[in-house]
Amino acid sequence: MAQLVLATDDSGGPEIFASVQGEGPSAGTPVAFVRLSRCNLACVWCDTAYTWRFEGDNRPHRSGETYARKANQLSLEPADVAERIAALGQKRLVITGGEPLLQAGPLAEMLEHLPDMSVEVETNGTTKAPPRLDIRIDQYNVSPKLAHSGNPADLALIPERLDSYALDERAFFKFVIAEPGDVDEVLVLQRAHAIPPQRIFLMPEGTDSATLRRREEWLVQLCLEHGYGLSDRLHIHLFGDTRGT
């Protein structure tokens, strides 16, 4: 079977750690995290560009920084990854990235070694899990990328995929918002794909507390107006913009 390709933490080891979920409907819940490498999209404000913007990758990012692949990727057997996750002693697992569903096969194998864990997957919503993986997922945190992400809509917003997630009661939608006008795009997507408003969260874009708080001041009013949830980024307030948190 194929290995899992993981992101690395500051020590060069795999980015597998225990913390609280910082975003979305499970915010504040104690969890184990595993961060996988590689992504099929390229957000200009991505705060985990070390999972995809390797040397030679010319997709735009506001920092302009590229990363050495060897230092920022690590391949491990799925059973090894599962053992490391189990050792953290948590009941819930968040699989994040990058785009985790690009590694659906080895990811399914990993979860077969963790049958008692409840599982969240963070996804950009452009792909779907095959049945072997899907049956082991308890919650999808779907974050479709709006125009300000810099991704072309035909790559980032695939109607068939959004329709499918809208019909799946396990799926919650988390939209990154930088300006009030971004919410207009959310309204269009909500109507086009019949997404229940109670499964939509708006989250401010930002990698420091001051920026998040400033944007939340006007974002909370838009949540009230449209019946959406407001998602903070607790890990930024607690730990800053750092790996392994």
Q: State whether residue 77 is helix, strand or coil.
A: coil
Q: How many CB atoms lie within 10 A of CB 198?
A: 11
pLDDT of residue 14: 98
pLDDT of residue 1: 67
4-239 CATH pick, 1.10.443.10, 3.20.20.70, 1.10.357.10, 3.40.50.11540: 3.20.20.70
Mean pLDDT of 134-143: 98
The per-residue pLDDT of the chain, averaged, comes to 97
Q: What is the pLDDT of residues 47-96, one digit of tens each?
A: 999 999 999 999 999 999 999 999 999 999 999 999 999 999 999 999 99
Domain boundaries, the chain: 4-239
Q: What is the pLDDT of residues 3-14, one digit of tens each?
A: 999 999 999 999
Can you give the three-state secondary structure of 191-232, one letter per residue? HHHCCCHHHEEEEECCCCHHHHHHHHHHHHHHHHHHCCEECC
pLDDT at 240 over 90: yes
pLDDT at 106 over 80: yes
